[in-house]
Amino acid sequence: MKNNLRNVIVFFIFCSLSLRSVAQTSLNAGDMAVLSWSSTTNKVQVVTFRDLTPGTVINFTDWGWLWSNGSTAGWAPNSVNSIAEGNIQWTLQSAVPRGTIIEITYGASTAIVIRNVTTNTVISTGPSVANGIAITGHTSIDQINNNGDNFFIYQGSSSNPKFIFGLNNTISTNSNVPVVNAATGWTDNGSYTIGWLLGSNLPDGTGSQNALTSGVNAVGFSTRTTELAYTGSTAATDATTWLSRIANPSNWTGSSTPLTPTYGTILGFTGSLPLTWISFTAASTGAGVALKWETAAEVNTKSFTVQWSTNGSNWSHIGIVAAQNNTAVAPYAFLHASPAAGGNHYRLLQEDMDGRSAFSKVVTVSLAEAKTRLVVYPNPAIGGNLQVQVSKASVVRVYNQAGVQLLEKSVAAGTHTLALGEAVKGTYYIKANGETVTVLMQ
C-alpha cells in the first residue's frame, strides 16, 4: 500500500513538472502584429506586445482564409501557387520579451530562419524538431509572392485557429472584377474564390475560435505593392496605441523596391520594462540574508539595485548587481550581511540602459537578532564615494594600500556615505568593529 501511495505521489509530481515545462503564453487577438512584408527578400517582420515564455507555440501562414457556402470557412491555399504557400509552427525555445521584433526568412524550398532582430541573433532554423520549427507546405521558392499575398499569425490547430493578427496585400482586381474591398483592404465573403492569387477573406469567427477586425487587429491594403513596411510613429507608448498605429494602413508605406524599416530593432513601451520576473526570494543564513532572483528575456537591462527597509516605507540602497542581459533564464544572488532584528524587507530596482526603471515585488525575512558584519558598496567603486553599513554605533576608518589612514568617522547604526574625494585608483581597506573590507577604487 505504501509503495502504491508513493508511486501515485511520484506520478503527480511528474505530471506537475511536465505541465510546467510545456506552459505557454496564451495570446489574444492583437497581442502580436506584422511590421513589414517583403517579396524581394522573402522576409516578414512581426512584433510581440506580450512577454512570450519558452514553450509558446505560434503559427505563421500565408494561406488565404476563405468563407464559402454561406456557412463554412477555412484555409484555402492559392490554387496555382499552393506549393509555395504553407504554414510555419514555431515552438519558442527561449523567452521573448514584449517589444521584440522577430524576422521570418523564407529560403529555398522549406528552409526557414527565425531571427531576433532586437538582439540580432538567429534563434531558430528549420524545419527542425530540435529547433522548434515544423513546416507544412512551402516546398518551392517565392513563398512571399511578388504578386501579393496575405499573412496570418495564429495559435491553436489549423482546423480551429485562434487568430492573433492578419495582413492582406493581394491583387485588387481580377479580369476587371473587384477582388479587394477598398474600405477594408480585404476580400468580401464569397466575392472571389479562385485565381492566380487567392484574395483572403477577413476571419469573422466562422470556422475559427475568433474574428479579426480590419483597423483593430488586422490591416488590409486596397492597392497591392511588392514591398510593405510600417512607417508611422515610433514614439514609446502602450501596447494598445502601438496596435492602433500598426493596424492603420495610412501608417504604412508601399514600394516596388525593398524598404528600410524606420521602427528600428525594438518597439519602446511606456510602463513596465522588457524583462520577465521568474522568482525573487529571501532566506536567513548564518552569514546574513541571502537574496536570490531569476529573470528571463532581459533586453537592454543595466542593473539591479538591492534596497532594504526595516519598516517597508524608508528604503536604503545596499548593493548593485550588474545585469546579464540574457534572453534565457538568468540567476542572481546577493548577501545582505547586516540585517536588523525584526522585519527586513527587500526589493529590487531594475534599471534599463535608457534610464527607465521599475521595482520588483517586496520579500520579507524576520530575524530574532541582528547580524554584526560590516558591509561596503559599491565594490569596485568609482568616484570616491562609498556606502558603509553597520548594525551598531561604530568608528569607521579608511586606509590606502600603503597603510595610511585617510579617514575616521563615528557613525550610528545604519548606512552612511564616506566621501573620499578624488580618490586615487587602487586598493583601500575599510575597518570597523574588528572587521576589514577590501575595496577596489577604479
Residues facing 68 on adjacent strands: 72
pLDDT at 175: 56
Higher pLDDT, 375 or 160: 160
**Cα gap 301→274, rounded to integer Å:** 8
pLDDT digits (tens, 9 = 90+) for 61-90: 988 888 754 556 788 755 445 566 788 999
Closest CA to 367 of 389, 347, 338: 338
Higher pLDDT, 197 or 244: 244
As a whole number, mean pLDDT of residues 91-113 equals 84
H-run or E-run covering 28: none
Same domain, 217 and 284: no
Same domain, 105 and 185: yes
The overall average pLDDT reported for the chain is: 80
Same domain, 36 and 182: yes
pLDDT at 18: 38
CATH number at residue 352: 2.60.40.10
What radius of gyration do the chain's Cα atoms show? 29
Of the residues 352, 371, 390, the one at which a domain ends? 371
Question: How many structural domains is the chain composed of?
Answer: 3
Q: Is 187's pLDDT higher than 60?
A: yes
Angle at alpha carbon of residue 328, lines to 327 and 333, rounded to 5°? 105
Contact 99/269 with Cβ under 8 angstroms? yes
**Residue 272 half-sphere exposure, CB side, CA atoms within 13 Å?**
14
**Cα gap 377→407, rounded to integer Å:** 17
Residue entry with cell 466562422: 206
Q: How confident is the model at residue 218 (pLDDT cuts 50, 70, 90)?
A: very high
Burial class (CB in 10 A: 0-12, 13-18, 19+), 225: middle
DSSP of 231-292, one letter per residue? -S----B-HHHHHHHHT-GGGEEEESS----SSTTB--BSSS-S-EEEEEEEEEETTEEEEE
Ranking 32-36, 352-356, 366-370 by mean pLDDT, the lowest is 352-356
Residues 6 or more apart whose Cβ sits within 8 Å of residue 62: 85, 86, 143, 144, 145, 149, 150, 151, 152
Q: Is 374's pLDDT higher than 80?
A: no
In 3-state terms, the chain is what percent helix, strand and coil (to 5)?
5, 45, 45
Host domain of residue 419: 373-442
Same domain, 203 and 219: yes
Residues facing 253 on adjacent strands: 229
Q: How confident is the model at residue 349 (pLDDT cuts 50, 70, 90)?
A: confident
CB atoms within 10 A of CB 326: 15
pLDDT at 13: 42
Same domain, 352 and 422: no
3-state secondary structure of 133: strand
pLDDT at 115: 92
Residues 6 or more apart whose Cβ sits within 8 Å of residue 25: 50, 51, 52, 53, 56
Same domain, 209 and 67: yes
Of the residues 201, 220, 255, the one at which a domain ends? 255
Q: What is the DSSP-derived secondary structure letter of residue 207?
A: T
Contact 316/286 with Cβ under 8 angstroms? no
Question: Grid coordinates in use for 230?
Answer: 510600417
Question: Grid coordinates in use for 312?
Answer: 517597508
Give the percent of the chain with pLDDT over 90.
25
Same domain, 67 and 174: yes
Contact 328/94 with Cβ under 8 angstroms? yes
Q: Is 14's pLDDT higher than 70?
A: no
Q: Is 297 left (phi over 0), alpha (psi -120 to 50) or beta?
A: left
Residues 6 or more apart whose Cβ sits within 8 Å of residue 353: 300, 301, 302
Any domain includes 2: no
Q: How confident is the model at residue 329 (pLDDT cuts 50, 70, 90)?
A: confident
Any domain includes 1: no
Q: How confident is the model at residue 142 (pLDDT cuts 50, 70, 90)?
A: low
Residue entry with cell 501596447: 239
pLDDT at 19: 37
How many helices (H) and strands (E) would you count in the chain? 2, 32
Of the residues 371, 398, 424, the one at which a domain ends? 371
Higher pLDDT, 155 or 392: 155
Higher pLDDT, 3 or 32: 32
Q: How confident is the model at residue 311 (pLDDT cuts 50, 70, 90)?
A: confident
pLDDT at 387: 83
Q: What is the DSSP-derived secondary structure letter of residue 211?
A: B
CATH number at residue 426: 2.60.40.2550
As a whole number, mean pLDDT of residues 266-271 equals 72
Residue entry with cell 472584377: 177
Same domain, 234 and 289: no
Closest CA to 106 of 81, 86, 121, 130: 86
Any domain includes 6: no
Same domain, 287 and 393: no
Amino acid at residue number 372 = T
